[in-house]
Chain A
Amino acid sequence: MRAAWRVARADLWPLLVTMVVVALTVAITVAVPTRLADGADSAVRSAVADADPPADLVVTSTYGPGNSDATADASDTVSSVDDAARATVAAMPRSLEPVFGPPTAAATSTDLGVSTARVPAGGVLWMTYLWAGSEPAVRWSAGSAPGAPGADGAVQLALSDAVARTLGVGAGDTITAIKPDHSALPVLITGVFEPTDPGAPVWSALPQVLHPQVGGAANAPTTVVAGLLSAASLPAARAALEPDGVTRTFRFPVDAGAVDYAGSGALVRRLAALEADPATLQAPPPSPRVTTQLDAVLTQARERVAATRSQAGVLLTGLASGAALVLLVAAELLARRRAEVLRTVRARGASLGDVARRSGVEAAVVVGLGAAVGVAVGLLVAPGPVTWPWVAVVVVVGVLVPPGFAMATAARSEARRVSTDLHQRRLAGRVRAVRRVSAEVALVVLAAAALAVLRRRGVLSASDAGDLLLAAAPVLVAGAGAVLLWHAVPPLLRGALRIARRSRRAGPLLAAARARSGRSVLPFVALVVVVALAALAGTLVATARAGQAQGAWDVVGADALVRTPSPDPTLLDVAERLARADGVAAVAVGRVQEGVQVFGVRGSPEVRVLAVDPTAYARLLAGTPFGAAPGLGRLADASTEAGRPSSAALPALVDGALLGHRVSLRWGNVTVDLDPVGRVPALPAQQPDGTPAGPTVVVDRAALAAVVTAAAARDADATAGTAGSSSDRADVADPNTVWVVGPRAATAARTTGTGTTTLTREQWLAERRADPLTGALTSLAIFVASVSAGWAVLLVVLGAAATAPGRARSLATARVLGLRRRDSPRVAAAELLPATLVAALGGTLIGALVAGAVVAPLALRLVTGQSVDPHVVAPWWLAVPAVLLVATVVAVVAGESSARRRESLGQALRIR
């Protein structure tokens, strides 16, 4: 035991390096999965909370034709709605109880037409009975609650203040609702109310009860309102709307906080079972249906989590591989330092097994301690379950590698170092070369196969169980690249040696000769791989951040975007106000219409139509990364010529696929012939909700209005002989979007008032970067880049330590011969720097190239939020590892020089 400690103490620092590397790697492999699991829970909850429409569970049931009784009293409502809701709650599977809150029940009529003095046309009325444990609490500002029909036979209904104001009616008024069969239904407004608690969940079942919804074109608005039935008035409403004009819904609100990633898979399966078999919930007959977005939302969220895990798996595999390489180099150094001891031990009769056992016990102690510290630190940083397989891999590598090197060194020590027989030397060299080439070819083939599989299948196809080949593909490619790069080193050093030999001076010769003879494949390959991993992770981070920024432009299309739910001419005023605002450089207003069908080409594809003022839009694009768009100038010129209200085709910029075709598009009820005058310039590639925009057709908004109006007039002439006036069609190209660019565009856009939605680039970017999964992955990539850079520094130190004794001897000899002291650090630096620089620069290049090859299969678009794969961005700070490694070499040389200063030259040469 004491002897073992003595041996260990002599090589304390390589053992400490091993322990630190094991501890750090284990800590990371313990903490990262827990952090990712936390991120996965947050992501799932966010997805559920942000679902639009909400991911509630909705049970829908009609009454069935002929099941109403106008004379029934409130008990009929209680049994058919209130009690049915209670029965559904009771039938809710126990496992779903924590996920869904108490239901809100509603019995709502079909769409009824309504017209009043204030809403002469386009009015839609829903009559609804609401219940959430009780009927909603209200304060009557006029009249009273509805009841059974009076002598007039009218269905009795109550309206909220807001709805009554919108319709321009009050308590005691009777309005006429138009049923789907166009027959009239008298409705008596018995009272007008204010909700006691407007925020009560019951109102969310049908928000139009409190908030009238006004939409549609400015000159033909649609007004959707809802009125409140009571338990007493519902039976009459049901009878009036026979057959089956009232539908019951039981809405169970989802509690996002009760959902987590681990339980989400089972939850999706249970929800699917419920949807397939609504009877489980004992929903009232005759035709109950269970619907929810929750399973789809969870499935999407799980896919994103799985993608993030796969992406993180690639990074973690790289990190662990880097650690394994450091452990290998540390073990090699340890064996090299102990070569004499091992030779002696063997000479005394110890078997290779004995050597391996002694080394293994020492490694087990060192690695065990490191792993224990790592687990403790990992749990401290991120409390949670430990991912033991990762820990086991690190420990196994750490324990097995040192005995392997010790045995190899001990076995080598029996042979004569260099055979004096030239033939034997050449033979041995050839055997070594064949072995090396075989291993290298195997590695290159494996790396190529892994990369091919990764590029074909993508990392998202990796199963939870592993697909280690996919995760390890970048490391394998980096390793293969490192091996190939290794072959460039000898010619380089030979060239340097040739130059040094021609020199007059001793230093260059000494440095070049030592650099050439001291080269060792393992430290070099390890260094290239970890630098490549640092560069890969760094490139991925930079690519992701740049992609997110580009994604923000793609989604918003400007610094800020103001939208209305439907085309609205008032946006022209909004645009004018924004154009005058401080810090606004350019404003463009337009109509964005998705899903417009194009004819005249195969498949009649759907396109996005962008109807803009070409000049203003071109000015706006010039202030964005999309840049100048000369095509818009051509469009403006062509549109001016074609602006007359004639039969001329509409000038348009179209995708390349549409160029050269006689194409037309359907705009409302009118077919518009297009005159393609050029290609669509670079434009925002996504819709504001993040979905891909698809092919785009850009037209002049004014020209579109003119052409559509003329075409509609011709159609009207042809069919009815009466022309609709142009003014009737003035809204055909009303805008629904305003784009704003400028340093204070976002601030200005936020003040556009109600009825509009504002989306700013900064806001989108901030939300994207704050996303738990995106944030976790980006942080992990930064961490992997930093740790890999740390591994690289360690490898340079270990590599220098391995060659330090030989360097010290050579420099001591040279010093005895008269080499100046100040020259010896330069010689040492010149020896170490070439291979280090080749490894650093080559590794950086390999890392950036690997990043380019794996950006698409890694599905980085999920991180950037883009609809397409982001462009690879290699940032300037990829050079940091190279600078760091040069600084490390300088520090190592200074340290060695300082240590040599304490040694007597006379002693240095006595013992060989």
Chain B
Amino acid sequence: MTAGAEVHVRGVHRTFGQGRSAVHALRGVDLDVSPGELVALVGRSGSGKTTLLNLVGGLDRPDEGSVLVDGTEVATLTEDGQDELRRERVAFVFQTFGLIPVLTAAENVGLPLRLHEAPAADRERRVELLLDLVGLSAHALQRPDELSGGQQQRVAIARALAASPRLLVADEPTGQLDSETGLSVMALIRGVVEAEGMTALVATHDPVMIALADRAVHLVDGRLVEDAGHG
């Protein structure tokens, strides 16, 4: 079990475009997430949820402000540093699953381990374990387009866990799933976060997911208007 990451976001601004067509996605966001905490990021479409997740996950840089993940200032990392951050400490789960269609489920799950150049035997054991964990051992050799949406998202979650990250960033993980499947995926995320002891930041509209989170924070027009613990 890995220890979860500590996340501190301070005064972060992010604007896309220039002049009159500029879109202010984030306007001075402050957020702290404790290790092992599952935080639901709630807000309407265009409120800045994904932008905030991208900044925390090292996929983007803020125009202003500071993003600390496990004590590392993500905003000032070099490109290689960002790559390393994503490889070593952060994992992602996307609304569109983000699986590589030409790889089998097992190969998709094993990809982060390959990026670590883990020994093949260790990799195979870990992949087997994770597919078993998400209930897809029987589908290991199937490609994403041969799986249902829920199965694909389970594969994506297994892949996210593969390299034992300290922070899980999930962007609308149930957005493309029916309610029943979404529920099982949410339960899975809650379960693995607890089991692995990782920190999780999940953007969602889903009340069930929000209910499963340790707390929910609300973003409105790029501003964090509420940061309330619950449940």
Residues of A bordering B, CB below 8 Å: 417-418, 420, 501-506, 509-510, 513-514, 516-518, 806, 809-810, 813-821, 904-906, 909-912
Tell whether, in the assembled complex, residue A509 and residue B114 are in contact, meaning their CB atoms are under 8 Å apart. Answer: yes
Residue from B57, B60, B84, B103 within 8 A of A509 (CB atoms): B103
* Distance of A437 Cα from B111 Cα, bound (Å): 36
Expressed in whole angstroms, the minimum distance between the Cβ of B52 and any Cβ of chain A is 10
Q: Assess whether A418 is in contact with B145, with CB atoms less than 8 Å apart.
A: yes
Set of chain B residues within 8 Å of A911, measured between Cβ atoms: 96
* 5 closest cross-chain pairs (CB), A and B: A818-B87, A906-B54, A506-B114, A912-B96, A517-B102
The residues of B that contact A816 with a CB separation of less than 8 Å are: 57, 59, 86, 92, 98
A813 touches B100 (CB 8 A): yes
Known: A505-B114, A509-B107, A509-B114. A818 touches B102 (CB 8 A): no
Is B51 positioned at the interface, with any CB of A under 8 Å from its CB? yes
Q: Determine if B112 is an interface residue (Cβ-Cβ < 8 Å).
A: yes
When chains A and B are docked, how far (Å) is the Cα of A817 from the Cα of B115?
Answer: 8
A-contacting 9-mer, from B26-34, B116-124, B205-213: B116-124
B178 within 8 A of A: no
Partner of A813, one of B98, B107, B120: B98
Shortest distance from the beta carbon of B202 to any chain A beta carbon, whole Å: 16
CB <8 Å contact, B117 and A504: yes
Please tell me if B46 contacts chain A, counting CB pairs below 8 Å.
no
Contacts A509-B111, A510-B100, A817-B92 aside, 11 further interface pairs with beta carbons under 8 A come to: A503-B120, A814-B100, A814-B111, A814-B115, A815-B83, A817-B115, A818-B115, A821-B80, A905-B60, A906-B51, A906-B60
Q: Which residues of B contact A (CB under 8 A)?
A: 50-51, 53-54, 57, 59-60, 79-80, 83-84, 86-88, 92, 94-103, 107, 111-112, 114-115, 117-120, 123, 145-146, 159, 171
Give CA–CA (A905, B59) in the complex, Å.
Answer: 6
Do B102 and A817 have beta carbons less than 8 Å apart? Answer: no
Do A820 and B80 have beta carbons less than 8 Å apart? yes
A420 touches B100 (CB 8 A): no
Report how far A517 CA is from B144 CA in the complex, Å: 13
22 contacts between A and B (CB under 8 A): A501-B107, A504-B119, A504-B123, A506-B114, A509-B103, A510-B102, A516-B102, A517-B101, A809-B100, A810-B100, A810-B101, A813-B98, A813-B99, A817-B92, A818-B86, A819-B83, A820-B80, A821-B79, A905-B54, A905-B60, A906-B57, A909-B98
A810 — nearest CB in chain B belongs to which residue? B100
A818 (CB) vs chain B CBs: closest residue: B87
Cα(A418)–Cα(B53), bound, Å: 33
Given that A418-B145, A818-B83, A820-B80 are contacting pairs, would A504 and B114 also be in contact in the complex, using a CB cutoff of 8 Å? yes
Among A506, A513, A814, A817, the most chain B Cβ lie within 10 Å of the Cβ of A817
In the assembled complex, which residues on chain A have CB atoms less than 8 Å from the CB atom of B159? Answer: 817
**Inter-chain contact total with CB atoms closer than 8 Å:** 100
A818 adjacent to B118 (CB under 8 Å): no
Residues of chain A contacted by B57 (CB below 8 angstroms): 816, 906
Complex CA–CA separation, A687 to B114 (angstroms): 73
Given known A502-B120, A504-B117, A506-B114, contact A513–B103 (CB-CB < 8 A): yes
Query: Nearest chain-B residue to A501 (Cβ)?
Result: B107
- Chain B residues within an 8 Å CB radius of A821: 79-80, 83
Q: Is the CB of B50 within 8 A of A506?
A: no
> Given that A814-B100, A819-B83, A912-B96 are contacting pairs, would A904 and B115 also be in contact in the complex, using a CB cutoff of 8 Å?
no
Q: How far is the CB of B162 from chain A (nearest CB, A)?
A: 9
Q: Is B102 in contact with A505, judged by CB distance below 8 angstroms? A: no
Residues of B within 8 A of A518 (CB): 102
A418: chain B residues at CB < 8 Å are 145-146
With a 10 A CB-CB cut-off, give which of B57, B88, B101, B171 has the most chain A CB atoms.
Answer: B101
Give the Cβ gap from B198 to chain A, nearest Cβ, in Å. Answer: 16
CB distance from A506 to the nearest CB of B (A): 4
Q: Is the CB of A909 within 8 A of B114?
A: no
Nearest B residue to A506 by beta-carbon distance?
B114
Task: Out of A504, A513, A814, A819, name the residue touching B120 (CB < 8 Å).
Answer: A504
Find the residue from B80, B86, B118, B171 having the highest chain A CB count within 10 A.
B86
Which residues of B have CB within 8 Å of A815? 83
Give chain B residues whose Cβ lies under 8 Å from the Cβ of A509. Answer: 103, 107, 111, 114
Name the CB-closest residue of A to B122. Answer: A504
In the docked arrangement, what's the CA distance between A639 and B210, Å?
113
- B111–A506 touching, CB < 8 Å: yes
Q: How far is the CA of A516 from the CA of B97 in the complex (A)?
A: 22
**B100 CB contacts on chain A under 8 angstroms:** 510, 513, 809-810, 813-814
Q: Which residues of A are found within 8 Å of B117, using beta-carbon distances?
A: 504-505
Docked-complex contact A420 and B146, CB < 8 angstroms: yes
Residue of A nearest to B106 (CB): A501
Cross-chain contact B115 with A506 (CB below 8 angstroms): yes
- Bound-complex Cα distance A817 to B161 (A): 11
**Measured CA separation A793–B176 after assembly (Å):** 41
Contacts of A814 in B (CB 8 A): 100, 111, 115
Determine the chain B residues whose CB is within 8 A of the CB of A818 once the complex forms. 83-84, 86-88, 112, 115
The reply to whether A810 and B102 contact each other, CB–CB distance below 8 Å, is yes
**Residue with the greatest number of chain B CB neighbours at <10 A, chosen from A518, A815, A905:** A905
Most chain B CB neighbours (cut-off 10 Å) among A513, A516, A818, A912: A818
Least CB distance from A501 to B in Å reads 8
**Contact A909-B119, Cβ < 8 Å, known A509-B114, A513-B107, A814-B111:** no
Bound complex: CA A506 to CA B59 (Å):
20
Q: How far is the CB of A796 from chain B (nearest CB, A)?
A: 20
Chain A residue at minimum C-beta to C-beta distance from B90:
A818
- CB contacts (< 8 Å) of A505 on chain B: these are 114, 117
The answer for the CA separation of A911 and B176 in the assembled complex, in Å, is: 12
CB-CB < 8 A to A912: which residues of B?
Answer: 96-97
Shortest CB distance B80–A (Å)? 7
Instruction: Give the complex CA separation of A809 and B102 in angstroms.
Output: 11
Q: Which of B60, B88, B111 contacts A904 (CB 8 A)?
A: B60
Q: Are the C-beta atoms of B115 and A819 separated by less than 8 Å?
A: yes
Q: Which residues of B contact A506 (CB under 8 A)?
A: 111, 114-115
